Structure 1
Amino acid sequence: MLKQSFRYDQSAARLEVEGLPDFSADHGSNAIGILSSWRLTMIGHSEMQGKREHLEALMAAVIPYARLRLSGVSRAQGQDGDPVRILPLEQGHQLELVSSRSDVPPLTLQLDDADLADLVRCLDALRHDARVRIEWPAISHVPLPKRDLAERTPLVQRLAAPVLGTGTFLILGLVGLLVPLPNPEPTQTTSPVEQQDERREPPISNPSQAD
């Protein structure tokens, strides 16, 4: 049987993919080149499944979202009407999946940090599995702008260094103004005549001579 099935397990997530090898691309029998279905099971939630475009949309939304969260930035990924959308909550994250069928309501999942981490590990394992010969859409990690980096740094922490430096400079300047400068001691100078008299030795008197 040519149909292949691979499974990726984590503590709170399980991702299964099924498909066929693409012999036109010289794939071996133990490979998936044509994805036929996928299923994602999160503990405490309903099973999710869909087409390849839904799985690609799940990767494109969840992986960049997790990267932003690791950088301390809370920003939703995906727009209204997209197949997959994930946004931050006060406690956790909300994952929304829109079915391609109009009679099926959107599926909403409430995830905590552990659930999100396990989901990302499953998606990464699938993307890097050499047995799955599918060209997944590239996910570009654009460097965060300075505005986002500044916003995630507390204001007190950003102002601490310049305020401390300015305060130290003012205190040192004030101390320098209050402390009096020492007065130099006057130096005594002697005239050349006095120096010559000091070097002149007194005459030695001979006690044998009469005064």
Structure 2
Amino acid sequence: MIQIAIDGPAGAGKSTIARKVAAQLGFLYVDTGALYRAVALHVLRAGAAAADTAAVTALLPSAHISLRYENGLQEVYLQGENVSEEIRTPQVSRAVSAVSAIPEVREFLFGLQQQLARENNVIMDGRDIGTVVLPQAQVKIFLTASPEDRAQRRFQEMQGKGQAVSYETVLADIRKRDEQDTHRAVAPLKQAADAVRVDTTGNTLEESVTRLSRFIRKKLGL
């Protein structure tokens, strides 16, 4: 099976770009960030603090998370409910970094991620795919962009969904997320030694998709 790992900071466009490239290649797209967001939503719904390791760990056995592919799109289910939209709210975004830093959470989702990669040709994106989850991936990409560029994209996305938020707040959240992700003790965000760094600052979505698709095809000889 072919494994393509895409890592990078929040708002770099990993999910959107990876989903489109996977569709072009006929690969299975796995948004690992959505799995962590589902855990964060489960924790918030239970009224627990995202940074409370004991409370979060205690809630894991009752978190029933699955990915389903409907009409070519990945849908995330929590307790049998489609939460694909709810996991993208600002509240979940603020909680997910703390939740994903908990070792028990990463172990809880690790098996599911590896099983998907064993059974399918995958493009998987996240924070530690090339370094921890799929260290033997044939293609590794570290996708990034400036904080300002990433905040602008996220701001426009949230506006399109009718979420009332300012650009300044989104930028502050992006910078805080970067600090948390790169300095956490477990599986911090970093570029794998054999990953190719791709900076999409100033690129349109179409330009980024074309660039990654061409690179992956060349790397795999497709």
Report the TM-score, using the length of structure 2 for normalisation: 0.21
Report the TM-score, using the length of structure 1 for normalisation: 0.22
Structure number with greater Rg is 1
